[in-house]
Amino acid sequence: MKQDDKSSGGLSEQRAGAVSASSSAPTQPAKGSSEKQQVRTAAVLLVSAAMGWVALKSIGKDFLKSLLERSTTVPVDEVSELSHEETRSEDRNTVPKDREEDRKEVRDEDREKEVDLARRERWGTLFVSFAFAVSIAAGFGFLFIYWSGGNNLLLGGMLALCLAGIGSALVLWAHWLTRHKQATEKREELASPPAERKAFVREYEAGVRDVHRRGLLKWFGVAAAGMLASMVISLIRSLSSAPGDALYTTVWKRGQRLMTEDGKPITVQSLQPESTITVFPENSIGSEKSQTVLIRVREDLLQLPKDRVNWAPKGYLAFSRVCTHAGCPVGLYQSENHLLLCPCHQSTFNVLQAAVPTGGPATRSLPQLPLYVDSDGTLRASGGFSEPPGPGFWGMP
């Protein structure tokens, strides 16, 4: 099983600590990390140091050079006062011939004031390398934290720092180290020229005529494709049973005892007036659809319709616990108003009047379960719910 805890006790304890940390504040690493872990930490440190040294050595020379020397690789241009037509013609003279075609399509505009290009290059190199350095350092931090237990809070911070370093390096690079120019591209006409369209239509229709000549074959082909599609679509049938009776019925039947969630039968002594409990049919405890709220009220308060006066012996009322509005469990009972309240959309049902809706978006009463008391004083259902339980659907009676 995935959930089997194979790690040592100390380790999982520390991870639990780490997790709870992410919700509030960083906690101290758990005490008593094993020797194995210390060895691992040391190894990670060693490898990190070695990698860092290699990395620094390989980039260090260029890095230092770029910081110390004034870069002279990019010529310092004069401020371009040329109008853009002239710029273009100048461009055309300088670019190689094979790029000329492209230059017609896409032109550079807004030649920047490039007097300070060298300075920009120096600072840009500094910024970008700093951002990359932060990223590299955070990457080492992440690895170190991950291998030594893995506090989610710190891991997230290190990952964010690492990614932000790379991201800002790239953006800084684009802003400081590329010759940032605005380019203008010509849009091509999206509609095809009439000649192209005509050529296409001609060829297509030639093919269609070919198909038409074999009319019967065409219809065979269509029929075969249709059959293939209906075969594939019919597989949807297997995704569930048909809704059929499932929406109309529950397990409640005449004679079924009312059981608590723990499997204890309800008797007439189980509830005091104005108290409530959730009950299930005896053979399907925990069933979502058959869940029933049992409420005991004072018998003289009852205002049930005439055909239901026998449904509530000793003031015991039972209703479907699934809201008729959107299917949430109607779990709250306000005993002073005799109201059942659905926590999802605040529909209220008056239990004294057979759970008619009195507020909120629900418009249909909670289905009532008729009850009787047998000779031992045990509460039993004297039938199924008065209506199908659960949220409404178009075919609902």
Partner 1 sequence: MIGWIADSLDSRLHLAKFFKRAMNHVFPDHWSFMLGEIALYSFVILVITGIYLALFFNASSAQVIYHGSYRALDGMKMSAAYRSGLHLSFDVPAGLLIRQMHHWAADIFLAAIVAHVARIFFTAAYRRPREINWVIGLTLLLLALANGFFGYSLLDDLLSGAGLRIGYAILLSTPVIGPWMAFKVFGGTVPVSATIPHMYDMHIFVIPILITVLLAAHLAIIWRQLHTNYPGPRRTEKTIVGSRLWPSYTAKSLGLFFLVFALVAMLGGLVQIDPIWIYGPDNPVAIAPGAQPDWYLGWVEGAMRLFPGVNLRLGHWLVPEVFFPALLFPALVFIALYAWPWVEKAFSFDDKPHNVLRLPYQQPFITSLGCGFFVFLLVLLFAGGDDVVAVATGSSVVLIRTILRILVFVAPAVTFALVYLLCRRMQRRRMTSTALVAPEDVDSNKAVVTRTE
- Site for partner 1 contains 273 (CB under 8 A): no
Residues 230-259, interacting with partner 1 (CB under 8 A): 236, 239-243, 246-247
Q: For residue 118, give the nearest of 70, 170, 51 by alpha carbon.
A: 70
- Residue 149 sits in the site that holds partner 1 (CB under 8 A): yes
Q: Minimum distance from CB of 218 to partner 1 (Å)? A: 29
**Segment 203-222, which members bind partner 1 (CB under 8 A)?**
none
Examine residue 325 and tell whether it contacts partner 1 (CB under 8 A).
yes
Q: Phi, psi at residue 329, to the nearest 5°?
A: -70, 125
Examine residue 134 and tell whether it contacts partner 1 (CB under 8 A).
no
Which CB sits closer to partner 1, 12 or 38? Answer: 12
Find the part of the chain contacting partner 1 (CB under 8 A) among 37-45, 186-194, 251-259, 298-306: 186-194
Binding positions for partner 1, 334-353, rule CB under 8 A: 343-347
Q: Which stretch binds partner 1 (CB under 8 A): 211-219, 300-308, 311-319, 356-364?
A: 356-364
Range 347-374 burial, b when 16+ CB lie within 10 A, else e: bbbbbbebbbbeebebebbbbbbbbbee
Taking the C-alpha atoms of residue 201 and residue 194, their distance in angstroms, rounded to an integer, is 10
Other beta carbons less than 10 A from residue 291's beta carbon: 22
Among 52, 263, 361, 377, binds partner 1 (CB under 8 A): 361
Put the strands of the sheet holding 316-320 in their side by side order: 258-259, 275-281, 292-296, 316-320
**Piece of 56-64, 193-201, 323-331, 371-379 that binds partner 1 (CB under 8 A):** 323-331
User: Based on CB atoms, which residue is closest to partner 1, 71 or 260?
Assistant: 260
Amino acid (1-letter code) at residue 175:
H
Pick one of 30, 118, 159, 268: the residue that binds partner 1 (CB under 8 A): 159
Distance CA 204, CA 211 (A): 11
3-class SS at 275? strand
List binders of partner 1 among 24-83 (CB under 8 A). none
- Using the rule CB under 8 A, is 180 a contact of partner 1? yes
- Does residue 269 bind partner 1 (CB under 8 A)? no
End-to-end CA distance of the chain: 46
Q: Helix or strand or coil: residue 266?
A: coil
320: β partners: 292
Among the residue ranges 4-12, 39-47, 196-204, 210-218, the one whose residues contact partner 1 (CB under 8 A): 4-12
Q: Is 152 in the site for partner 1 (CB under 8 A)?
A: yes
For helices 35-68 and 117-147, give the axis angle rounded to 10 degrees: 180
